[in-house]
C-alpha cells in the first residue's frame, strides 16, 4: 500500500539509518564504520549485491547471507514495471516479498529510465518513457520515485537524479546538476515514511566546481546519506578518482557515502581510499554467470581448457560454497554443459570474494594498515 | 581411472548393496525397507532425483539433502560424452566430482542412445551412434557400459538393455528381450569393481510371457537388484500396472526393485502398491523449471494470474524452502521475470513433495494402512 497522502513529512533530524565511523585510516580518507538500519546493522565498507527484480540472480537468501551479504540493492524501475510496487506492497513489502530480513536499498529508477527505457524524454518536471517490457507510456517524477520506493519499503531510498551519458559538454553536465538539485529538494519534500532513509546523489562529472556545487546544495538539504553518481559510466580511472576526491571531502563525516555501480576489486580499493563506505554493482553476479571469477591473483575464466581436470578449488583458502566443495574441473564442466549450478556457484564465489575484500579493508583500517593492504592487493591483482 | 583389466570379477554373493524389507503391507504388495550402500543407507520406497550431467539442475547438494533427497541418479550417456568418464575419474569419481556423499545410481546409457543420439544402429554386439553434441561416431556395448559406469563409480550401475519404443509388434519386443538377456550376461561378466552393485532390467512390454521369461533369465544371473524397464514410454496406465504386476511377483524378495523413469505421484502410489521400492524421474525438476508444481490438491501452475497477489505458500504445511519462506505471488513474479530462482524453488518443492510422499508411504506401510493412504491421496489428487 502506498502511504496515506495526508501524512506529514517525517521531522528532519530523526534518522531512519544512522552512520557511525568507528575507525579512520591515518594515510588515506578510508574509514570503517557501522550503518544502523531498521533491519539491523551493516559494517562498512560494505558491498551490496544487486537483486534487480527482487532476487539476486539464482541465489537464495541463505546463500547470500552465507556468502557474506548483509545489505542488498533492488531496482525500482524493474519492480515498478513488474510486478508493480502495489503488488510488492500487497505482498508485505520488499523484505517480506523476497524473504530478505536484512537491510535493502532501492535506487530511484532514473538510471534505468535513461539506459533501458525506450524514447525517454526529460524535462524539469520529470521523465516520460516507454517500458522496455511492453511499450507502455510511463512517467517518473521525483515525487513518483519517492512514492514507488515508499511502497517497496526498502531501508534506504535514493533521490531521482539525472546522470548524463559521458562524454558530455560541461554545460550539459551543469544542467544535469541543476536538475539533480531541484529534484532532490522535491524528493525530500515528498517523503512520508519515517522508517525509510533518503540519500542524495552528487553529480557533476569530472568537474570540481560542479561536484562542489551539487554536494553543497544537497548537504544543505540534510539527507540521511550521500551517493556519488555519474561514475562508472565511461570515464577514465583518473577522472573517477578526481570525481571521488572532490565529492567526498565536502560530505559530512557523520553520513554514509555510497559509490553507485562500482564493483571491480581495484575500484573498491581506490574508492575506500577516497573515503567511500558503500558500493553496489552487478559485476560479481553478471561476471559469475559468464564464468569469470574474481581471485586475488586476478580473474579466472572457468571455461578455459586448462581447468578441465584441475582438482583445485577456484581460489585456495576461500571458504565459499564453490571453493569449499567443488573443483575447477567440475565448475568448468557445469559451464560447458550450460548447467544453472555453474552461474550459481560462480556468483556465490564472486560475492564472497568482494565481501571478504571489504572485511579485509575494515580490518586493515582498524589496524592502521589500509594503505599497505591496498598496495598489496593491487599488486597481486595485476593490471 | 578405469579399473585394471587384470582384476578378476568380484565373487558372486558379496553384495555391494543389500536390501532388507522391514515392513510389509497386508493389503498389497507394498513393502518398506532399507537399501544399504557404500555411501550409506536409503529408506525405501525412495525417489531418486535425476542429475543428468552430474548436477540436479540448479540445486546444490545441501539443497537436495534438505529437500529430502538421499540417493541420486546420473546419466552415463551424458557424462561419457561430456566431460567424459575419464575426466570424472581423474577428478575423484562421481561422488567427489559433484560433491554428493550419498548413494548414486547411474543408468547404462542405453536409453539415451535410443532416444537422443543420432542414427543409432543396434546389433547383437551393441549400439553404434553419433553424439548429439558433436556428431562423433561412438559405440556402446554391454562391456563398455559397465566400464564407463565403473569409471564414474556410482554405488549402483545398470545393465545395458534394449527398450523398444511402443507401440511395437510382439516379435520385436521378444527380440529386445533376448538381446536384453544376452547383454545382461555380458555385463555381469564384465564387472570388476567389488564396491559397485549391478542391477538387471526386466523388459517385455505388456506381455506376461515375455516379462516372465526376461525376469527368470535375469534372476538366474543373481543381480544385486532388478529394475522394471520399458514403462513410461507411451503405454496406458493399465498396461503399466500389468507389466508391473507380472514383473514384480517373480522377483526375489531380498533384492531391491526399481521402476525406471516414473515420477508422477499417482504412478508412485500404484507402483509401490505393486511392490516397487525405488524410482527416478526428471518430472519434478523439469516440471518445476516450467512452473508446474505438485501439491496434494493436484498440480499448481505458478504462472497463473490468480497467484499474482496471493500471500499463501505454494502448499500449506510443506516445510520446503519455497513454501516456508515465499508466497505464491513472489514465485509467480520470479517465473514471469524469467529469474533462475523460480525454477530453483519450484524444483525444490517438487522434490520435497515426492520425498514426503515416499515417507508417508513408508509410514503407512509400517502402520498397516497403505491401501487407505493410496486411496486418500489419489482421491485428493484428482484425475
Is the pLDDT at A361 greater than 70? The verdict is yes
**A-chain residues near B327 (CB < 8 A):** 91-92, 97
Is the pLDDT at B7 greater than 60? The verdict is no
Residues of A identified as active-site: 107, 280
What's the rounded mean pLDDT across residues B32-53?
Answer: 98
Q: Please report which confidence band the pLDDT of residue A1 belongs to, taking 50, 70 and 90 as the band edges.
A: very low
- Classify A73 as helix, strand or coil: strand
Output the CA–CA distances (angstroms, integers) from residue B338 to A27, A339, B163, B303, B333, in the order listed.
47, 16, 37, 11, 8
Q: What is the pLDDT of residues A195-228, one digit of tens each?
A: 999 999 999 988 999 999 999 999 999 999 999 9
Distance CA A213, CA A220 (A): 11
A159 assigned ligand-binding residue? no
* HSE-up of residue A24 (Cα within 13 Å, Cβ side): 8
What's the rounded mean pLDDT across residues B191-210?
Answer: 95
Q: What is the pLDDT of residues A117-141, one digit of tens each?
A: 778 899 999 999 999 999 999 999 9
In this structure, are residues A369 and A264 in contact, taking their beta carbons and an 8 Å threshold?
Answer: no
Residues, chain B, total? Answer: 383
Q: What is the pLDDT of residues A85-96, one digit of tens each?
A: 999 999 999 999
- B interface test, pick of A51, A63, A83 with most B CB neighbours within 10 Å: A83
Distance CA B262, CA A220 (A): 68
Sequence ranges of the domains in chain A? 18-281, 286-375
Looking at the complex, does the CB of residue B282 fall below 8 Å from at least one CB of chain A?
A: no
Annotation says B222 is catalytic: no
Q: What is the pLDDT of residues B132-181, one digit of tens each?
A: 999 999 999 999 999 999 999 999 999 999 988 778 899 999 999 999 99
- Spot the catalytic one: B36, B101, B107, B296: B107
The minimum CA-CA distance between A97 and chain B, rounded to whole Å, is: 6
Q: Please report which confidence band the pLDDT of residue A262 belongs to, taking 50, 70 and 90 as the band edges.
A: very high
Q: From the list B60, B92, B309, which residue is nearest A90 (CB)? A: B309
Is the pLDDT at A10 greater than 60? The verdict is no
Quickly name the fold that domain B18-281 has: TIM Barrel (3.20.20)
Is the pLDDT at B11 greater than 90? The verdict is no
Q: Which one, of A241, A267, A321, A293, lies nearest residue A67 by Cα?
A: A321
Residue A237 confidence (pLDDT):
78
In this structure, are residues A265 and A256 in contact, taking their beta carbons and an 8 Å threshold?
Answer: no
Could you list the beta-strand ranges (E) of B89-151: 104-106, 118-122, 127-130, 137-140
What's the rounded mean pLDDT across residues B189-195?
Answer: 97
Residue B4 confidence (pLDDT):
44
Residue A117 confidence (pLDDT):
78
Which positions 32-91 of A are in contact with B (Cβ < 8 Å)? 53-55, 57-63, 78, 82-83, 87, 90-91
The chain A residue lying nearest B133, using CA atoms, is: A337
Q: Which one, of B210, B192, B182, B126, lies nearest residue B200 by Cα?
A: B182
- Spot the catalytic one: B224, B267, B270, B280: B280
Distance CA A256, CA A34 (A): 9
The minimum CA-CA distance between B10 and chain A, rounded to whole Å, is: 30
Q: From the list B78, B99, B311, which residue is nearest A325 (CB)? A: B99
10 Å CB burial of residue B150 (0-12, 13-18, 19+) is buried
Q: From the list A83, A337, A345, which residue is nearest B53 (CB)? A: A337
Mean of pLDDT over chain A? 94
What's the rounded mean pLDDT across residues B280-302?
Answer: 97
Q: From the list A55, A91, A330, which residue is nearest B334 (CB)? A: A55
Q: Please report which confidence band the pLDDT of residue B1 belongs to, taking 50, 70 and 90 as the band edges.
A: very low
What's the rounded mean pLDDT across residues B225-229?
Answer: 96
Neighbours of A122 (CB within 10 A): 18
Which positions 224-243 of A are in contact with B (Cβ < 8 Å)? none
Looking at the complex, does the CB of residue B23 fall below 8 Å from at least one CB of chain A?
A: no
The chain B residue lying nearest A84, using CA atoms, is: B333
Distance CA B383, CA B374 (A): 14
Residue B6 confidence (pLDDT):
43
Amino acid at each position: 500500500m502506498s502511504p496515506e497522502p495526508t501524512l506529514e513529512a517525517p521531522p528532519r533530524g530523526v534518522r531512519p539509518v544512522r552512520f557511525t565511523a568507528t575507525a579512520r585510516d591515518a594515510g588515506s580518507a578510508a574509514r570503517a564504520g557501522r550503518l544502523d538500519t531498521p533491519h539491523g546493522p551493516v559494517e562498512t565498507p560494505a558491498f551490496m549485491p544487486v537483486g534487480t527484480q527482487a532476487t539476486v540472480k539464482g541465489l537464495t537468501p541463505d546463500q547470500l547471507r552465507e556468502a557474506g551479504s548483509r545489505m542488498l540493492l533492488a531496482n525500482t524501475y524493474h519492480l515498478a514495471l513488474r510486478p508493480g510496487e502495489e503488488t510488492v506492497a500487497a505482498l508485505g513489502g520488499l523484505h517480506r516479498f523476497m524473504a530478505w530480513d536484512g537491510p535493502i536499498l532501492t535506487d530511484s529508477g532514473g538510471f534505468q529510465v535513461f539506459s533501458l527505457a525506450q524514447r525517454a524524454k526529460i524535462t524539469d518536471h520529470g521523465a516520460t518513457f516507454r517500458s522496455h517490457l511492453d511499450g507502455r507510456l510511463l512517467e517518473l517524477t521525483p515525487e513518483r520515485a519517492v512514492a514507488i520506493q515508499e511502497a517497496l519499503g526498502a531501508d534506504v531510498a535514493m533521490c531521482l537524479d539525472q546522470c548524463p551519458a559521458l562524454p558530455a559538454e560541461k554545460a550539459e553536465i551543469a544542467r544535469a546538476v541543476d536538475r539533480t538539485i531541484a529534484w532532490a529538494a522535491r524528493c525530500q519534500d515528498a517523503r512520508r515514511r519515517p522508517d525509510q532513509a533518503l540519500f542524495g546523489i552528487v553529480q557533476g562529472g569530472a568537474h570540481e566546481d560542479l561536484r562542489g556545487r551539487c554536494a553543497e546544495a544537497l548537504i544543505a538539504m540534510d539527507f540521511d546519506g550521500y551517493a556519488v553518481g555519474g561514475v562508472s559510466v565511461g570515464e577514465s580511472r583518473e577522472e573517477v578518482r578526481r570525481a571521488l576526491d572532490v565529492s567526498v571531502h565536502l560530505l559530512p563525516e557523520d553520513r554514509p557515502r555510497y559509490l553507485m555501480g562500482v564493483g571491480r576489486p581495484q575500484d573498491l580499493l581506490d574508492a575506500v581510499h577516497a573515503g567511500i563506505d558503500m558500493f553496489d554493482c552487478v559485476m560479481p553476479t553478471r561476471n559469475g554467470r559468464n564464468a569469470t571469477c574474481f581471485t586475488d591473483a586476478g580473474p579466472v575464466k572457468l571455461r578455459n581448457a586448462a581447468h578441465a581436470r584441475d582438482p583445485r578449488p577456484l581460489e585456495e583458502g576461500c571458504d565459499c560454497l564453490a571453493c569449499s566443495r567443488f573443483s575447477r574441473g567440475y565448475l568448468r564442466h557445469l559451464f560447458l554443459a550450460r548447467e544453472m549450478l555453474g552461474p550459481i556457484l560462480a556468483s556465490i564465489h564472486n560475492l564472497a570474494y568482494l565481501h571478504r575484500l571489504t572485511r579485509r579493508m575494515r580490518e586493515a583500517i582498524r589496524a592502521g594498515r589500509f594503505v599497505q593492504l591496498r598496495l598489496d592487493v593491487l599488486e597481486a591483482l595485476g593490471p
